[in-house]
Amino acid sequence: MFLFLLLLFADMSDNTKKLALSMAAYTSASIFGPLIVFGGIGYYFDKYLGMGKAPLFIGIGIAFIVTSVLQFFKVRVLLKKMNEEAEKDNQAK
């Protein structure tokens, strides 16, 4: 896996590498953060309150929805920035 990443980043500039790593970190945090929080709440209801497995699966479902919303807004912001950069490049030519 490490060798794959090394080969993948070999041709990239420093800014591109930083962007790729920051996007990977943001994506990981937006997946694992809600999963730990909402899955943990569901696990608590299951384990300590004896409510069965349903709260755990509901928590995981809520985490999936929150993750999807976070990713949607991040992609929307990135697309807006890319469009602005493309317009600047077109105006400069």
- How does pLDDT run across 33-82, given as a tens digit for each residue? 999 999 999 999 988 888 888 999 999 999 999 999 988 998 888 888 88
| Cα distance between residue 50 and residue 45, in whole Å | 7
Q: Is the pLDDT of residue 6 over 70?
A: no
| Cα distance between residue 84 and residue 51, in whole Å | 51
CB 32 within 8 A of CB 70: no
CA distances for 9 relative to 38, 46, 57, 75, 82, angstroms: 34, 44, 38, 22, 21
- How does pLDDT run across 45-58, given as a tens digit for each residue? 988 888 888 999 99
pTM of the model: 0.69
Predicted confidence band of residue 3 (pLDDT cuts 50, 70, 90):
low
CB atoms within 10 A of CB 16: 11
Q: Is the pLDDT of residue 2 over 60?
A: no
